[in-house]
């Protein structure tokens, strides 16, 4: 838990203007079982809670798998377990990140896995009282890819 608290303090120092969720985004709850997502106490039937938007534009809660690179799925998280969701517009989890090393090419490359902590943050209003996370920070714990900083932040769809 201390790693997450340190990560949260580090994120608080980051000065990034969050973009507003696009109007008219269709929210599909509950999410398909193929995403490993589930609805739960973080989202009620009345559309109150916090979600993360997938590449397929689905709103999901606590996904066990999340694709980071929507175009080719060469970067994704798997085996995700969440210790907190929606707490102060932030979620904390851990799992494995799989990245295609693309050598000699992405089609012929292989995937390298890293143990990571994950922080979803910067939740903004999606519709009504439904919030969507805007940023994903990956913190490498083991097997960090070469030439990659310890912490990497990605903008999320939505």
pLDDT of residue 142: 95
pLDDT of residue 17: 23
pLDDT tens track, the chain, 158 positions = 444 444 443 333 232 222 222 222 233 323 322 334 444 444 544 457 999 999 999 999 999 999 999 999 999 999 999 999 998 899 999 999 999 988 888 889 899 999 999 999 999 998 888 999 999 999 999 999 988 999 999 999 97
* Residue in 85, 90, 82 with CA at minimum distance from that of residue 122: 90
For residue 153, with 0-12 CB atoms within 10 Å meaning exposed, 13-18 middle and 19 or more buried, which class applies?
Answer: middle
pLDDT of residue 31: 32
For the entire predicted model, the pTM comes to 0.71
Decide: 77 and 92 in contact? Cβ < 8 Å.
no
pLDDT of residue 32: 29
For residue 112, with 0-12 CB atoms within 10 Å meaning exposed, 13-18 middle and 19 or more buried, which class applies?
Answer: middle
Q: What is the CA radius of gyration of the chain?
A: 15
């Amino acid at each position: 838990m201390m790693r997450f608290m340190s990560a949260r303090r580090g994120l608080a120092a980051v000065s990034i203007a969050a973009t507003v969720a696009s109007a008219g985004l269709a929210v599909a709850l509950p999410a398909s079982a193929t995403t490993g997502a589930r609805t739960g106490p973080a989202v009620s039937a009345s559309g109150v809670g916090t979600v993360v938007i997938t590449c397929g534009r689905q709103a999901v809660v606590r996904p066990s798998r999340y694709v980071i690179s929507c175009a080719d799925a060469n970067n994704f998280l798997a085996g995700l377990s969440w210790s907190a969701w929606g707490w102060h517009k932030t979620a904390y989890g851990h799992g494995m990140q799989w990245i295609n090393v693309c050598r000699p090419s992405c089609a012929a490359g292989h995937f390298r896995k890293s143990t990571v902590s994950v922080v979803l943050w910067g939740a903004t209003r999606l519709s009504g009282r439904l919030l969507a996370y805007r940023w994903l920070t990956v913190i490498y714990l083991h097997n960090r890819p070469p030439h990659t900083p310890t912490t990497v932040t990605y903008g999320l769809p939505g």
